[in-house]
Amino acid sequence: MRIAEIFHSIQGEGQFTDMPSVFVRTSGCNLRCWFCDTPYTSWEPEGPQMPWQVVLDKTLSFDCKHVVVTGGEPFLPRDIVPLTKALAEQHRFVTIETAGTVHRPVHADLMSISPKLGNSTPDAARGGRWRSRHESLRQNLPVVARLIAEFPYQLKFVVDQPDDVAEVEAYLHLLPAVEAKNVWLMPQATTRDQLATQTTWLEPTARRLGFQFSSRKHIELFDNVRGK
Ligand code: SF4
C-alpha cells in the first residue's frame, strides 16, 4: 500500500476531537475535491509503497491506543483489510476516515464517513478530466448505507456556504437510518481565519438542526501544517 505519512498527533475532527492518535495516511484518491487539504494524497500523490506488515510495525511503534487510517481514500488499497484486522488484534481502537465510495471487509471501531457535497467538485480549469469523474463518483449511497449498517459511524459534511446545509438535509432524507446525533457539520477551511469566519454561522446552524458541530482542531492549533 502507498503511504504518504505515519505520525502521532491529536484527532482534530468529530467525536474523538483532542484524542491522541497515530495517523496512517494512505496516498491515492479516486476523487479530486478542489479544497483537498492533503493534495499530496490526491492531486499529486506522494509516498512509497510499503507491505502492510511494515505499516503495522511502524504504527505499533507508537505507544498509542487510537489509530486513524485516513487518506487519500484508504479503502482503495486492498491491504487495508489485513492491516485493520491486525491492529484490532493488537487492541488498537481503529477509526477509518473515508469518503464512502468504496467498500471492503475491514475492521473498524468507528467508521468516519465524509460524503462529498456538490461544493467539492473542481471547476473546469482546475479539474480537467477529473471534474466529470469526481462528479460521477463522489456519492455512493449503497456503500454508505452498508458502512453505517456494519459499523459504529459518524457522518461528517464539509460545509462551505449556507446553501450546502439544505443539500445535507436532502442527502440525509435518502438515508433514513442515520441518527442526527451522528451527523457532524464542519467548516470548509484551510486557515485559522477561514475557520473562525465559517464557525460563526455554521455552529449555531448545526445546533438548531440537531446536528453536531465539528471544528478542525489541527487548523486551530497548527494552521494545517503537514504531519501534525
Ligand atoms: S476525498 Fe478527501 S483525500 Fe480525496 S480529494 Fe477529497 S478531500 Fe482530498
CA 88 – ligand 1 centroid, Å: 26
pLDDT digits over 118-169, tens only? 999 999 887 788 999 999 999 999 999 999 999 999 999 999 999 999 999 9
Name all residues whose Cβ lies below 6 A of ligand 1. 29, 31-33, 36, 38, 41-42, 71-73, 99
Residues 6+ away with beta carbon under 8 Å from 140:
100, 101, 102
CA 126 – ligand 1 centroid, Å: 15
Mean pLDDT of the 197-206 span: 95
Mean pLDDT of the 69-97 span: 98
Closest residue by Cα to atom 7, ligand 1, is 36
Per the prediction, the chain carries an average pLDDT of 94
Task: Please state the domain extents for the chain.
Answer: 3-184
CA 122 – ligand 1 centroid, Å: 11
213: number of Cβ within 10 Å: 16
All three cell numbers of 128, joined, read 480537467
Question: What pLDDT, on the 0 to 100 scale, is given for residue 226?
Answer: 64
- pLDDT greater than 90 at residue 18: yes
Query: Cα(176)–Cα(181) distance, rounded to whole angstroms?
Result: 13
Are the C-beta atoms of residues 119 and 166 closer than 8 Å to each other? no
- pLDDT greater than 70 at residue 15: yes
CA 72 – ligand 1 centroid, Å: 6
What is the CATH number that goes with domain 3-184? 3.20.20.70
- pLDDT greater than 70 at residue 228: no
pTM: 0.94
Between the CA of residue 161 and those of 26, 34, 198, what are the distances in Å?
29, 15, 9
